[in-house]
């Protein structure tokens, strides 16, 4: 019996062979993998960008708070303006103590026109101590606030207008004055263990207030 060549060609053109199907599936799998990798990479980039935004926002908020309280600082005969250079674990953990009229939301109303504020790094936290009643001897009068975490450095420098130079510490008890300007440096670590440094400069009036 003879076979019709036209009929055989139509059958061959009408379907896919097993090899063609396997090849098509392999190509689809490769495309799906590439798309998934692209989405995963995009999500990681978005997450990283969001983390950076949160980090920048928190750092800038902390620096703005310190700058505001510096700008509103007051000289007090019993509570001098102090800046100490500290490195308890080999990393900057400076101490800044001052009287200020600026108050944050988490600080109770002061008993006088100014409150005592102390900033420092405690472990990996930036800590703010506030004493609304500066003359109180009770530890309950202290209000402790953790402003930032993953902090690896808190460094301050003070500009002495008389000498025309920057200093690592400031002794307000002996000077009865504050510096002309202060540089605040906050260094934090991201979840990727990357270091980020944020800096703010604060100018103070030349005369005592």
For the chain, give me the number of helices (H) and strands (E)?
A: 3, 11
Poorest-confidence range of 7-11, 99-103, 155-159?
7-11
Whole-number Å distance between alpha carbons of 150 and 187? 9
Domain boundaries, the chain: 53-203
176-202: average pLDDT: 91
**Nearest of 154, 120, 131, 119 to residue 76 by alpha carbon:** 131
| 152 vs 33, more confident | 152
Whole-number Å distance between alpha carbons of 147 and 117? 13
* pLDDT interval class at 63 (50, 70, 90): very high
Contact between 156 and 96 under an 8 Å Cβ cutoff? The reply is: yes
Contact between 157 and 136 under an 8 Å Cβ cutoff? The reply is: no
Across 70-131, the runs of DSSP E, i.e. the strands, are 73-74, 82-84, 95-100, 115-122, 125-131
40-55: average pLDDT: 72
Instruction: Give the model confidence (pLDDT) of 86-145 as tens digits.
Output: 999 999 999 999 999 876 545 544 445 679 999 999 999 999 999 877 666 666 678 899
Whole-number Å distance between alpha carbons of 71 and 64? 10
Q: What is the DSSP string of 20-67?
A: HHHHHHHHHHHHHHHHHHHHHHHHHHHHHHHHHHHHHHHHHHHHHHHH
Rg (C-alpha) for the chain, rounded Å, is 32
**Nearest of 128, 127, 138, 98 to residue 115 by alpha carbon:** 98
Instruction: Give the model confidence (pLDDT) of 158-179 as tens digits.
Output: 999 989 999 999 998 877 788 9
Q: What is the pTM of this model?
A: 0.72
Contact between 145 and 154 under an 8 Å Cβ cutoff? The reply is: no
197-209: average pLDDT: 81
Q: Mean pLDDT score of the chain, rounded to an integer?
A: 82
How many percent of the chain have pLDDT more than 90? 43
């Amino acid at each position: 019996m003879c076979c019709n060549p036209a009929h055989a060609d139509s059958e061959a053109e009408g379907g896919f062979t097993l090899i063609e199907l396997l090849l098509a599936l392999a190509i689809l799998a490769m495309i799906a993998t590439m798309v998934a990798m692209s989405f995963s990479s995009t999500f990681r980039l978005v997450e990283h960008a969001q983390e950076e935004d949160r980090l920048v926002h928190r750092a800038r908020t902390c620096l703005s708070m310190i700058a505001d309280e510096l700008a509103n600082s007051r000289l007090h005969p019993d509570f001098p303006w102090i800046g100490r250079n500290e490195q308890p674990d080999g990393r900057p953990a400076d101490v800044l103590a001052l009287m200020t009229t600026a108050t944050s939301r988490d600080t109770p109303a002061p008993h006088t026109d100014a409150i005592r504020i102390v900033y420092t790094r405690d472990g990996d936290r930036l800590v703010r101590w506030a004493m609304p009643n500066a003359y109180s001897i009770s530890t309950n009068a202290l209000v402790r606030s953790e402003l930032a975490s993953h902090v690896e450095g808190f460094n301050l420098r003070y500009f002495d207008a008389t000498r025309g130079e920057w200093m690592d510490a400031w002794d307000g008890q002996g000077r009865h004055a504050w510096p002309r300007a202060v540089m605040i440096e906050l260094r934090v670590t991201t979840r990727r263990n990357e270091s980020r440094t944020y800096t703010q400069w604060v100018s103070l009036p030349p005369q005592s207030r």
